[in-house]
Amino acid sequence: MGSVRKLNIGFYSPYFPMLGGGERYLLTIASLFSATQSTSLVIDPSVLKRIFTTFGLQVENTIIIHPYEFLSLNTLNRFRYLRKFDAFFYTTDGSVFFSSSKKNYLVIQSPAHIPVATIFNRIKLSNWESLCYSSFMRDIIQKRLSRNSLIIPPAIDNIFFDQKRAKKRNIILTVGRFFPHPHNKRQEVLIEVFKSFAKRALSGWKLVVVGGLTEEGGNKVVGQLKKLSEGSAVEIKVNVGFKELLELYRESKVYWHAAGFGEDLETNPERAEHFGITTLEAMASGCVPIIFPAGGQVELVQDGENGYYWKTPQELIEKTALLSQDDKLTQSVARRAKESARLYSLDNLKTSYEKLLE
């Protein structure tokens, strides 16, 4: 019997240098298939060194295509170039191009990245199938483009479910990139809430604010957060490595998330969390999530079951204080959070994509 031909699968995101959640999503898929299929990444080689330290992902045995080589092609030559792929995944920045790959998947991360519904874009979109992370995104895409989207949520590495017991400490953790609008994580709100109530309700606790800094606009955000944190039990950590982040997840008891708070989400839905991969990582690591209920996060956390919702600063503190005073409750909710996070395992993601590429 002859051997089965490997599929030729390509991946491209104009945001690869940022190494955020969307980039991790695409790189995870590439990593899963690099052992069995022929995979190609349109990525600057200088970014490769940071992938493992940032995400703990291996993308070996992968063909590297420099973005300049890809982007310098005119429309016709790029169309011809893409014929060699059995499947091509593109995380859009709002733009679309003609592709001749056998299967084409347009990954739409957030409302801010949905292509404008012009006649020309609709023609280009005819050869693409839309992929998104959540029902929240699917509904917005349907409303704006009148097209269905396939939901395949991100997955978290099995290492987050490691049963090796780490001693939990009185740490509240929040993780998200440092950048301004349109998708600010509202870390300043969490710092202000913690400072206002820590001495009375959370004595002996610490808030750790972790984030990636990859854009110029983020420098000002970090500076403001550091100034806001002065003289308090708040620690700002910038561009931490994957190992350190993993340890913080394992040691923290509670996870806070504030994206969408105080925003007009009807007008600006992109300011809500479109999925919530860091919330999911925290849940898998045994943290109890307390989130602002907006966007895709409500699909991950059920209030009072595997975490909690907060809508006012007072509510955020009350629910955190309740956990701080009841270890049995904290452990019970944390167990349910960990169990529900298993739905988003790498095995499930790989199965979803194997079915997609059959």
Q: Partners of 171 in the beta sheet?
A: 206
41, two tokens: 């990444």
| Cα–Cα dist 39/7, whole Å | 8
Give residues with Cβ within 8 angstroms of 323, minimum separation 6.
253, 254, 288, 329, 330, 333
Task: Kindly give, in sequence order, each residue whose CB lies less than 8 Å from that of residue 313, ignoring residues fewer than 6 positions away.
Answer: 189, 192, 193, 196, 197
Any long-range contacts for 331-336 (C-beta under 8 Å, 24+ apart)? 333/288, 333/305, 333/306, 333/307, 333/308, 334/253, 334/286, 334/287, 334/288, 335/286, 336/305, 336/306
Per-residue pLDDT of 276-322, as tens digits, reads 999 999 999 999 999 999 999 999 999 999 999 999 999 999 999 99
Q: CA 55, CA 48: separation in Å to the nearest integer?
A: 11
Report the pLDDT value the prediction gives residue 248, as an integer from 0 to 100. 95
Amino acid at 92: T
The low-confidence residues of the chain, meaning pLDDT below 70, are 1-3, 163-165, 181-183
Amino acid at 177: R
Domains in the chain with CATH codes? 8-152 (3.40.50), 159-343 (3.40.50.2000)
Hey, what are 291's tokens?
């989130």
pLDDT given for residue 64 in this prediction: 96
Query: Dihedral sign, CA of 256, 299, 338, 279?
Result: negative
CA 197-309-317 angle, 5° bins: 10
